[in-house]
């Protein structure tokens, strides 16, 4: 795939931490932000409220050099917010419903290249408006799809995820999500084989937390990598999104899977050394481009 347009669809919001700090977030936004840091220049499609938080998001996107043409402004619903709490150093999320990103309107989608990669998750599809818009995009340009599952209870159901899988070329999820999606199998290998058997997926990458990550291709060739044991952890918010951004970068750059996984693990390890999921420090990205 030569110089594909990378389209990122989904939520942008503020993560509100226990100390009152507000940090830009949302898995698709985080991925788009990192790709911009890597020099890929994605088109991010989302919606913010007609409020101060929405203005801050648009200003941040502009300051970072991202394309603003995919950002819609909603006059009725507010910019998304997630209240983040930590238990045993793991983030837990209270995701506010009826946020602007639930109402992404197909009437305001800019031009999209048919030679494209489309990244999306599942949270922004909890409302039928954004879900229908994504379906319209897929129908109109038939992109190569990267699905980053990001299950957030109670905002998903198995039937919807199974439908998304039938359109997916690259799949990324964690081990718990894999068990939710393939409950009839208990072993990771059999769960992955089941997904390959019933879907057109070419690559499945399963994150394993402290145990690292394992990636499978359609002939079930496996590549596994473990993080170093000496990692400074500030918080783990956005680690999975950081990993996904480098998986996408590897696809765009044509890296082999071993190189991609190594660099993705390094970048995710670096992200958990800062608070929140993104940074304005451009030097943060230098060693990964």
Q: Which pLDDT tens digit goes with each residue over 123-140? A: 999 999 999 999 999 999
Q: Tokens at residue 231, please?
A: 């990692």
- Please tell me the distance from the alpha carbon of residue 289 to that of residue 287, in angstroms, as a whole number: 6
Instruction: Give the whole-number percent of the chain exceeding pLDDT 70.
Output: 95
**What is the mean pLDDT of the segment spanning 36-65?**
97
**Quick one: how far is CA 263 from the chain centroid?**
17
120: helix, coil or strand?
Answer: strand
Checking if the pLDDT of 1 tops 60, the result is: no
Per-residue pLDDT of 148-173, as tens digits, reads 999 998 999 999 999 999 999 999 99
Report which of 40, 7, 8, 15 is spatially closest to residue 278, judged by C-alpha positions.
15
Selected residue with higher pLDDT from 35 and 88: 35
So what's the pLDDT on residue 234? 67
Whether residue 154 has a cis bond before it, omega within 30° of 0:
yes
174 close to 209: Cβ distance less than 8 angstroms = yes
So what's the pLDDT on residue 26? 92
Give the pLDDT band (50/70/90) at residue 83: confident
Selected residue with higher pLDDT from 109 and 234: 109
Q: How far apart are the first and last CA of the chain?
A: 18
- Please tell me the distance from the alpha carbon of residue 288 to that of residue 120, in angstroms, as a whole number: 22
**What is the mean pLDDT of the segment spanning 19-26?**
86
Going by their DSSP bridges, the two strands 5-9 and 43-49 should be labelled as parallel
Checking if the pLDDT of 119 tops 70, the result is: yes
CA distances in angstroms from 189 to 79, 164, 173, 247, listed in the order given: 40, 21, 14, 21
Structural domain 5-288, CATH architecture? 3-Layer(aba) Sandwich (3.40)
pTM: 0.93
Give the pLDDT band (50/70/90) at residue 2: low
Q: Give the domain ranges of the chain.
A: 5-288
So what's the pLDDT on residue 258? 93
State the burial class of residue 119 (Cβ atoms within 10 Å of its Cβ: 0-12, 13-18, 19+): buried
- Please tell me the distance from the alpha carbon of residue 226 to that of residue 241, in angstroms, as a whole number: 17
CA distances in angstroms from 12 to 15, 179, 263, 272, listed in the order given: 10, 27, 25, 20
Instruction: Give the whole-number percent of the chain exceeding pLDDT 90.
Output: 73
**Quick one: how far is CA 1 from the chain centroid?**
21
- Please tell me the distance from the alpha carbon of residue 260 to that of residue 244, in angstroms, as a whole number: 10
147 close to 10: Cβ distance less than 8 angstroms = no
């Amino acid at each position: 795939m030569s110089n594909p347009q990378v389209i990122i669809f989904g939520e942008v919001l503020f993560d509100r931490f226990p100390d009152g700090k507000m940090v830009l977030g949302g898995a698709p936004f985080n991925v788009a932000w990192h790709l911009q840091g890597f020099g890929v220049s994605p088109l991010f499609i989302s919606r913010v409220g007609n409020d101060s938080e929405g203005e801050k998001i648009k200003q941040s996107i502009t300051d970072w050099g991202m394309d603003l043409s995919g950002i819609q402004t909603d006059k009725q619903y507010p910019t998304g917010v997630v209240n983040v709490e930590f238990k045993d150093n793991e983030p837990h999320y209270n995701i506010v419903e009826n946020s602007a990103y639930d109402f992404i309107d197909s009437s305001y989608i800019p031009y999209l290249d048919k030679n494209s990669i489309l990244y999306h998750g599942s949270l922004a599809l909890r409302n039928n408006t954004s879900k229908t818009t994504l379906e319209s995009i897929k129908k109109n340009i038939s992109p190569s799809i990267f699905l980053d599952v990001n299950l957030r209870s109670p905002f998903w159901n198995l039937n919807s995820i199974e439908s998304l899988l039938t359109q997916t070329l690259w799949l990324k999820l964690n081990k718990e999500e894999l068990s939710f999606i393939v409950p009839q199998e208990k072993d990771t290998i059999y769960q992955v084989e089941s997904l390959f058997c019933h879907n057109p997926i070419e690559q499945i990458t399963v994150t394993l937390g402290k145990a690292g990550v394992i990636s499978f291709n359609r002939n079930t060739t496996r590549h596994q990598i473990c993080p170093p044991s000496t990692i400074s952890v500030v918080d783990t918010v956005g680690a999975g999104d950081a990993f996904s951004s480098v998986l996408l970068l590897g696809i765009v750059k044509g890296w082999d899977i071993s190189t991609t996984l190594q660099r993705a693990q390094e970048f995710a390890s670096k992200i958990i050394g800062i608070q929140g999921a993104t940074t304005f420090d451009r030097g943060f990205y230098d060693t990964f481009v």
